[in-house]
Structure 1
Amino acid sequence: MTDFERLKADALNIFKAGVAAADPHDAVIHALREHESAYANARRVHIIAAGKAAVPMMRAALDSLAGDKIGQTLAVTNYENLVEVAGTKVIGASHPLPDENGANAARAVEQIANDAEHGDLVLCLISGGASALLPAPVAGVSLDEKIKTNDLLLKSGADIVAMNTVRKALSRLKGGGLARAIAPANGLALILSDVPGDDLATIASGPTVPDPAPLDQALAIVTALGISERLPASVMSHLKARGEEQPPPFEPTTRNQLIGSNRISLQATEVAARELGYEVIILAEWLEGDVEVAAKAFHERASNVNWTGKIAILAGGETSVHVTGSGKGGRNQEMALRFAALCKERPLATAWAFLSGGTDGRDGPTDAAGGLTTPETIRTLMAKSLSVGDYLANNDAYHALQLADALVMTGATGTNVADLQVLLLG
């Protein structure tokens, strides 16, 4: 095994340790043990699971709770994670752009919440991706118009907080809408985080958490992003009218609890790296912003390390890409390719391997979790007379990494706590 192969294997094992730490089944099992009294005192228990981890979270709930009190149940997840679960209906929907299946699922979720009566408990199992998987457009806005809005937001370079603020403004369920529907029944939301700071109002656009943002903030965001003139007229009309309203009174009956996060997974990568003999440097506990800037931050840190042995520079978070090309890829693939290109321009003093991957196993609209590059990546592309710059300019990192055998292919992981980066120097 060459040095590069060993570093690549270590990087992949460290990344997988971070993914394993976000196991949604175990997280739900542990959390439900803390809430035995809520279940015992409930007349009936209805279960709603939504997000990329909906299936294992629903399985954990059904495994943990006695069936004699179980009422209505429903799980909604992305197509890649769609599998049958005994005892409940599972609906597959599109992510990151919503579709009609998601709209139908949102209506079914609303119905379960509205049917819940005083004395019932509605258990909500929320994970990343639920925002796009449960599109419930406000009156006057069609699903196609909301899809167009989401598409413009994704390509604008907006971060997850800004995107979810706009999504909440256009939804019946987001921004506490689901909690409104649950009342007067009691609710318990167990939440896996994929956002910075683990803000419960931002995760999955906060279906069970009142939106703290001013009503006019969504309008300010689309204006600042420069996309207001391209948004559907119905969307702009709603955002403008919403900014002039007063927040409605809201006394939620739902409790919210964080049960997994990117920070927990980052800590797991640190443990795994140390076990493999690496000295660990945490570049950022939440890495955000443009992928080009993030790749430069990794390169700069690696260029200024005092070499004492094997080094692991780690980060977690969620970056963004301002899409201008027509290629295929995602933020993690582009970051991995950009880092390799930087190292070609300004080589590091030692062998290296860099992995950037999504914990859900799906980076953007692709079947890859991310990219894993070494100095050999650029050499392979150059040997085929391919221009890395052209691929990056077209936002086509997927095909470049595919040709260099540098894609990370894990398949759907059943969880989602944003992204992890692993840079190994040895």
Structure 2
Amino acid sequence: MKNESTLALRDDALAIYQAGVAAADPYLAVKHCLSAEAEHLAIGLDSSDPNPQRRGNWRKIHLIAFGKAASAMAKAAEEAIPEALWAGKGIAVTNYENVAELTHTDVFGAGHPLPDAAGLDAARRIAEKVGQAEAGELVLTLVSGGGSALIPCPVESVSLSEKCAVTGLLLASGADINEINCVRKHLSQLKGGGLARLAAPADLHALILSDVLGDDLSAIASGPTVPDPSTFGEAIAILQNRQIWERLPDAVRDHLQNGAKGQVPETPKLNDPVFQKTDHTLIGSNAISLHAAAKHARQLGYETRIYSERLCGIAREVAEQWVNTIAALPPVGRPNALLAGGETTVRLTGDGLGGRNQEMALAFALAAERQQLDADWVFLSAGTDGRDGPTDAAGGRIDPGSLARMRAEGVDPDARLANNDSYHALQASGDLLITGATGTNVADLQILLLYPKTTAGR
């Protein structure tokens, strides 16, 4: 059972999360950056202030969009691009949940987090379209989180299944997103500046919705439109350090070794001439959403602090560290909100079902029980895209009664955490946060609400 105070906290946590998601609305962000006058397109270079602008007398505009927000971003671009400037239909690639019908753009669904054949076909279509762009034309590229998996275009010597095997091994090893992207860039024709290389000699401008902490453009969707600072040698070192080098398909090892020897061209670097006609605008990020969530928490009356703007590490360990930090503080005297944004990882040791946010929520509940937190509380951890790992849940929302509800259903939460089976544990306690696809993706948000134990309801 959940008491009245807990229910109020749970409602507030959800509202704060939703405020963060709303701040990353991809449609509005693109609309804010594009304007047209007399059949000329202008592109804002700063998301907070669309002036100054990039203007060009482009004869034609090739529209490309990929990522979990591709449909919404492409819809906004469609409404801004003058009819006479379209270079045929645009192409948008997104996860299946976010596919939408558009007027001037063909939208393709593809697999995420693991690439699939549909994504490969769509990526090849993108490569073909971009390769047709000519000098004096613009390739307008709309980039959002998830793009790395959604447009797999492996080098000719590596098959899609072999590339998927590498991604799966990296995910299971606990590799972070930067490590995964480094390897994927060196197995791809589009990532790591590959798309910019294909677009030359046309102009290219990318509107980017960041799902990467610190907004490293070379990491967002594996940086298809920007210089890549990483090398073949670094990709090999990552795979060796994660102890999966010997488990890779032979074709993958051969390609990476040939690249390290200089027998395969490196990804384009900062001084490469392909970037002379490229530019970008960062239109949304996790930091923007985190501060919007914090603003809403203050409006609800919480004394609000940012716990971390770059929350990373192993999900269950991060949860325990957070609880230990809170337990060491004096008891709260008024409603408090501690918020974080970031992207953790899961170290797979079992064969259960779940995602990093569900695992963090379950681990938080267990750590809070051990520490006997001296407050009423609710903890929410969720992805802004509405999907956490290979599940239909965005994450989890737990409270002091969660573990009792699990045990009442015959579920051992410690055993489920050990088996990476947070989904079924949270399902048993009614703590899965299921929002459906949100149409955006700026990594994850965590919200901890604390009420003094003496406070009853609102």
Secondary structure of 2:393 counterpart: coil
Secondary structure of 2:426 counterpart: helix
Matched, 1:195 2:217: no
Where do residues 262-411 of structure 1 align in structure 2 (5 Å cutoff)? 262-306=286-330, 307-411=332-436
Worse-superposed segment, 199-208 or 228-237: 228-237
CA distance, structure 2, for counterparts of residue 423 and residue 332 of structure 1: 13
Matched, 1:63 2:79: yes
CA distance, structure 1, for counterparts of residue 239 and residue 171 of structure 2: 12
Matched, 1:169 2:193: no
In the superposition, the TM-score normalised over structure 2's length comes to: 0.91
The aligned amino acid for 1:336 is A
In the superposition, the TM-score normalised over structure 1's length comes to: 0.98
Residue 71 of structure 1, CA deviation: 1.2
CA distance, structure 1, for counterparts of residue 172 and residue 55 of structure 2: 43
Match of 2:247 among 216, 219, 230: 230
Residue aligning to 1:250: 272
Residue aligning to 1:45: 61
Identical-residue share of aligned pairs (%): 51
Query: After TM superposition, which residue ranges in structure 1, 4 or more long, deviate above 3 angstroms?
Result: 36-40, 246-249
Secondary structure of 1:35 counterpart: strand
CA distance, structure 2, for counterparts of residue 298 and residue 14 of structure 1: 19
CA distance, structure 2, for counterparts of residue 308 and residue 160 of structure 1: 39
Residue 397 of structure 1, CA deviation: 0.5
| Post-superposition CA distance 1:14-63 (Å, at most 9, x none) | 00000000000111111224627756510001100000000000000001
CA distance, structure 1, for counterparts of residue 72 and residue 247 of structure 2: 39
Matched, 1:77 2:81: no
Worse-superposed segment, 338-347 or 313-322: 338-347
CA contact under 8 A between 2:357 and 2:396: conserved in structure 1? Answer: yes
CA distance, structure 2, for counterparts of residue 69 and residue 386 of structure 1: 59
CA distance, structure 2, for counterparts of residue 125 and residue 14 of structure 1: 27
Residue 177 of structure 1, CA deviation: 0.2
Residue aligning to 2:5: 3
Residue 308 of structure 1, CA deviation: 2.9
| Alpha carbons of structure 1 residues 349 and 314: separation in structure 2 relative to 1, 3 Å | same
- Unmatched 5+ stretches in structure 2: 36-41, 45-52, 452-458
Residue 345 of structure 1, CA deviation: 1.6
Secondary structure of 2:289 counterpart: helix
Residue 302 of structure 1, CA deviation: 1.9
Number of residue pairs matched?
A: 426
CA distance, structure 1, for counterparts of residue 361 and residue 394 of structure 2: 11
Where do residues 53-202 of structure 1 align in structure 2 (5 Å cutoff)? 53-72=69-88, 73-202=90-219
Residue 250 of structure 1, CA deviation: 2.3
CA distance, structure 2, for counterparts of residue 105 and residue 342 of structure 1: 44
The aligned amino acid for 1:145 is E
CA distance, structure 2, for counterparts of residue 415 and residue 284 of structure 1: 21
Worse-superposed segment, 39-48 or 202-211: 39-48
Residue 256 of structure 1, CA deviation: 1.7
CA distance, structure 2, for counterparts of residue 305 and residue 368 of structure 1: 32
CA distance, structure 2, for counterparts of residue 81 and residue 402 of structure 1: 24
Secondary structure of 1:216 counterpart: helix
CA distance, structure 1, for counterparts of residue 355 and residue 189 of structure 2: 29
Residue aligning to 1:35: 43
- Unmatched 5+ stretches in structure 1: none
CA contact under 8 A between 2:64 and 2:140: conserved in structure 1? Answer: yes
| Post-superposition CA distance 1:197-218 (Å, at most 9, x none) | 1000000000001211133110
CA distance, structure 2, for counterparts of residue 155 and residue 344 of structure 1: 28
Residue aligning to 2:447: 422
Q: CA RMSD for the aligned pairs?
A: 1.3
CA distance, structure 2, for counterparts of residue 284 and residue 420 of structure 1: 10
CA distance, structure 2, for counterparts of residue 133 and residue 250 of structure 1: 26
CA distance, structure 2, for counterparts of residue 384 and residue 173 of structure 1: 48
CA contact under 8 A between 1:361 and 1:412: conserved in structure 2? Answer: yes
CA contact under 8 A between 1:180 and 1:250: conserved in structure 2? Answer: no
The aligned amino acid for 1:201 is S
Secondary structure of 1:209 counterpart: coil
CA contact under 8 A between 2:192 and 2:224: conserved in structure 1? Answer: yes
Residue 385 of structure 1, CA deviation: 2.9
CA distance, structure 1, for counterparts of residue 417 and residue 319 of structure 2: 13
The aligned amino acid for 2:107 is V
CA contact under 8 A between 1:312 and 1:425: conserved in structure 2? Answer: yes
Residue 409 of structure 1, CA deviation: 0.7
CA contact under 8 A between 1:333 and 1:401: conserved in structure 2? Answer: yes
The aligned amino acid for 2:202 is A
CA contact under 8 A between 1:128 and 1:204: conserved in structure 2? Answer: yes
The aligned amino acid for 2:422 is A
